[in-house]
Amino acid sequence: MKPSILVTRAIFPEVIERLAQYFDVDDNQQDAVLDAAALKARLAGKAGVLANAADRIDADLVSVLPGLRAVCNMAVGYNNLDVPALTAAGIVATNTPDVLTETTADFGWALLMATARRVTEAEHYLRAGKWQRWSYDMLVGVDLYGSTLGILGMGRIGQALARRAAGFGMTVLYHNRSQLPEATERSLNARYVSKAELLEQSDHLLLVLPYGPESHHAIGATELSQMKSTATLVNLARGGIVDDAALAKALREKRIFAAGLDVFEGEPRVHPDLLTVPNVVLTPHIASASEKTRKAMAMLAADNLIAALDAGPQAGQPPSVINLEVMSRRR
């Protein structure tokens, strides 16, 4: 008998077909909303789940799912998973790194440029019929070329963003939990600084750090007050890293120039204050959303699930395990 798995959200049909070779698949191709109770009910009796970054899989849920052996996120971030609880229960947790790095960094650049050069504000202005004539200060923005780029969180995506900065003649500063090896810093032309220096010196600050209790509201009123009044802030990482209310206030009072946000605390709800300030570009968590990358993420999540449940030719070590200690315990 094939093991049963749940795919929590609608997904590319070819991924369902692939999974169906090995598993009895409970899919959600109608994309019905699965709230916590529905998720719990649908997970009963399942050996694995292909989950989405919005599916909260915590200690309480794990405690009522004794048969669950693998939780495979279709996302690089995994703050939706209680990894210590999964590890304690011997459940393999996986994510989808690498395949989305360049697409996400491309989008980071799009959001940064739109923010610095007021692209969405300009389009709204034009569509509203406000463009009557040229004027020297119409929709003036701030430059990227030759400016100082700050990156908070220098993992794979941070490094991909730093590589793009070379073409813009930027000075790159970064802050991270740990400093990168010297050779990597040299190849990226990036200099490690303290968080305070990063806030004070960046003309453009990109947030690409993981979210957890230690990064909750890492950018709040105090940090915003340390930034230049001409600076921009872009959050590509997770909502909750920025205190959205404090940011809306800083934007309204022009204490920083502008912001670009792809992620929000409590998304898909967006803090109402952000919706009423003009100098913020808002996008609905789409940084990895190219068709090619989303297919690669879905296939990687499926490969992880197949390997984690010892099915098919991929039986063994899943390509991207978060809690390797579970794998070593299984051997």
> Is 267 designated active site?
yes
Q: Which two tokens stand for residue 235?
A: 């959050």
> Is 238 designated active site?
yes
Q: Minimum distance between the CB of residue 260 and ligand GLV, rounded to whole angstroms?
A: 15
Options 204, 238, 271, 294, the catalytic residue: 238
Q: Render the burial of 240-263: b for 16+ CB within 10 Å, e for the rest.
A: bbbbbbbbbebbeeebbbbbbbbb
Q: Does residue 77 touch ligand GLV according to CB under 6 A?
A: yes
- Please, is 164 exposed, middle or buried when counting C-beta atoms within 10 Å of its C-beta (0-12, 13-18, 19+)? middle
Q: Are 97 and 320 in contact (CB under 8 A)?
A: yes
47 vs 322 by CB, closer to ligand GLV: 322
Q: Minimum distance between the CB of residue 95 and ligand GLV, rounded to whole angstroms?
A: 7
- Tell me the C-alpha distance between 78 and 72, whole Å: 10
Applying CB under 6 A, which part among 15-23, 73-81, 273-281, 301-309 lies near ligand GLV?
Answer: 73-81
Q: Minimum distance between the CB of residue 305 and ligand GLV, rounded to whole angstroms?
A: 16
Among 6, 53, 91, 227, binds ligand GLV (CB under 6 A): 53
Q: Minimum distance between the CB of residue 88 and ligand GLV, rounded to whole angstroms?
A: 23
Chain positions 99 to 158 lying near ligand GLV, rule: CB under 6 A, are 100
Q: What is the DSSP secondary-structure string of 142-202?
A: ---TT-EEEEE--SHHHHHHHHHHGGGT-EEEEE-SSPPPHHHHHHHTEEE--HHHHHHH-
75 vs 190 by CB, closer to ligand GLV: 75
Cα separation values, 51 from 6, 77, 117, 152, 231, Å: 8, 12, 37, 27, 37
> Is 124 designated active site?
no
Residue 242 phi/psi, 5° resolution?
-105, 140
Q: Does residue 312 touch ligand GLV according to CB under 6 A?
A: no
Using CB under 6 A, count the residues that bind ligand GLV: 6
73 vs 314 by CB, closer to ligand GLV: 73
288 vs 320 by CB, closer to ligand GLV: 288
Q: Minimum distance between the CB of residue 330 and ligand GLV, rounded to whole angstroms?
A: 26
Q: Minimum distance between the CB of residue 74 and ligand GLV, rounded to whole angstroms?
A: 7
Chain positions 249 to 308 lying near ligand GLV, rule: CB under 6 A, are 288
Options 69, 204, 285, 294, the catalytic residue: 285
Among 43, 75, 300, 326, binds ligand GLV (CB under 6 A): 75
- Tell me the C-alpha distance between 15 and 293, whole Å: 14
- Tell me the C-alpha distance between 237 and 231, whole Å: 19
| H/E element, 5 | strand 4-7
Name the amino acid, one letter, at 299: M
Q: For binding to ligand GLV (CB under 6 A), which residues are involved?
A: 53, 75-77, 100, 288
Supply the residues annotated as catalytic: 238, 267, 285
